């Protein structure tokens, strides 16, 4: 696996080894020892989401207690994955990173704790799988509006499909709870 550091601290795009032959492709997407060695993380929970249609937007979410690092992988379909550095004291506070992840490029994205995370579904029937470094804690979940003009995220959609919860998230400047470095 190739771990490529990104412009935001602790964020990596991971390119797994692909083994192709006439039958198809074998992809090794996770090996505990490599992630422990390269990122010093331990994953405790796996989640998988089936997205029926394109233009579904999930996020931007984060937790204060039990902050989660995430390893995102698209099993089928495609997403525009977006993260925002929201760590108090970070020189990159408010900066974003957008990455296209799909079942063809097979890239993975590692997002460490302290970042808000969300994604836009680009294809129907997209399946997203992610590993988490801590357990989901709904009482500690916070979020930021997807269309915050201060973040200026190029989502490439003007009217996404949102959950009721995501429709009511505050803007970055109105958010009261952020993680520290």
The catalytic site residues sit at 61, 130
Phi, psi of 97 (to 5 degrees): -140, 130
The HSE-up count of residue 30 (CA atoms within 13 Å, CB side) is 15
Distance CA 144, CA 88 (A): 15
Nearest-angstrom CA–CA distance, 116 and 166: 13
- 31-37: long-range pairs with CB below 8 Å, 24+: 31/1, 34/1, 35/71
Write down the residue that tokens 């915050």 correspond to.
Answer: 148
* Among 84, 78, 99, CA closest to 148: 84
Angle at 49 between CA 144 and CA 53, to 5 degrees: 85
Alpha-carbon distance of 65 to 22, in angstroms, equals: 47
């Amino acid at each position: 696996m190739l771990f490529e550091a990104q412009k935001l601290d602790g964020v990596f795009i991971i390119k797994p080894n692909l083994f192709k032959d006439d039958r198809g492709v074998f992809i090794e997407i996770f090996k505990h020892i490599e992630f422990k060695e390269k990122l010093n993380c331990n994953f405790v929970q796996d989640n998988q989401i089936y997205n029926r249609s394109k233009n579904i937007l999930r996020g931007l979410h984060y937790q204060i207690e039990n902050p989660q690092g995430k390893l995102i992988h698209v099993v089928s379909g495609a997403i525009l994955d977006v993260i925002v550095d929201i760590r108090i004291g970070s020189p990159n506070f408010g900066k974003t990173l957008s990455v296209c992840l799909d079942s063809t490029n097979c890239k993975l994205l590692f997002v460490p704790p302290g970042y808000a995370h969300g994604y836009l579904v680009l294809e129907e029937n997209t399946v997203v799988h992610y590993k988490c470094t801590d357990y989901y804690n709904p009482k500690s979940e916070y979020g930021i509006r997807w269309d915050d003009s201060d973040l200026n995220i190029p989502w490439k959609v003007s009217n996404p499909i949102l959950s009721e919860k995501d429709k009511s998230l505050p803007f970055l400047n109105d958010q009261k709870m952020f993680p520290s470095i």
